[in-house]
Amino acid sequence: MNQAEPIITVSSLEKSFKGLRVLKGVGFTINKGSIFAMLGSNGAGKTTTVKILSTLIKPDGGKAEICGYDVVRQSMKVCEHISLTGQYAAVDEALTGRENLRMIGALHHLPDRNEKADELLEAFNLVDAGGRLVSTYSGGMRRRLDLAMSLLGNPAVIFLDEPTTGLDPQSRLAMWKTIKSLANAGTTVFLTTQYLEEAEQLADRIAILHDGVIVAEGTPGALKKRIPQGTIELTFYNEGEIEKACDLLKEYQVNKYMEMLTITIMTDGSVKQLTDILNHINNAGISVSGFTQKLPTLEEVFLKLVNDKEEER
Q: Minimal CA–CA distance to 151: which of 204, 74, 81, 88?
A: 81
On whether the CB atoms of residues 55 and 78 are closer than 8 A, the answer is yes
Instruction: Specify the pLDDT at position 267.
Output: 83
Dihedral, CA of residue 280, residue 286, residue 291 and residue 297, to nearest 10: -50
Please give the pLDDT value at position 2. Answer: 45
Chain centroid offset of residue 133 CA: 32
Domain ranges (residues) in the chain: 6-91+137-218, 230-295
41, burial (CB in 10 Å: exposed 0-12, middle 13-18, buried 19+): middle
Q: What confidence score (pLDDT) does residue 1 get?
A: 42
Closest CA relative to residue 265, chosen from 225, 234, 228, 224: 234
Helices and strands (H and E) in the chain: how many: 11, 14
Question: If we measure between CA atoms, which residue out of 36, 23, 32 comes closest to residue 191?
Answer: 36
d(C-alpha 190, C-alpha 37), whole Å = 6
How many CB atoms lie under 10 A from the CB of residue 209?
23
Q: Which residue type occupies 278?
A: L
Quote the mean pLDDT of the chain: 88
Report the phi/psi class of residue 5: left, alpha or beta, with left for phi > 0 and alpha for psi in -120 to 50.
Answer: beta
In the chain, DSSP assigns E strands to 6-17, 20-31, 35-39, 61-66, 69-70, 82-85, 157-161, 188-193, 205-210, 213-218, 230-236, 254-257, 262-267, 288-294
Give Dmax over CA atoms of the chain in angstroms: 76
Domain at 6-91+137-218, CATH homologous superfamily: P-loop containing nucleotide triphosphate hydrolases (3.40.50.300)
How far is the C-alpha of 20 from the C-alpha of 192, rounded, in Å? 22
What is the rounded CA–CA span in Å between residue 163 and residue 179?
A: 10
Is the separation of the CB atoms in 116 and 84 below 8 Å? no
Buried b (16+ CB within 10 A) or exposed e, 17-34: eeeeebbeebebebbbbb
> Is 33 in contact with 19 (CB distance < 8 Å)?
no
Start-to-end CA distance of the chain, whole Å, equals 41
**Please, how many CA atoms are within 13 Å of residue 265, restricted to the half-sphere of its CB?**
27
Closest CA to 187 of 163, 155, 160, 159: 155
SS3 183: helix
Identify the segments of the chain with pLDDT beneath 50: 1-2
Q: Which CATH architecture has domain 230-295?
A: 2-Layer Sandwich (3.30)
What's the chain's Rg over C-alpha atoms?
A: 24
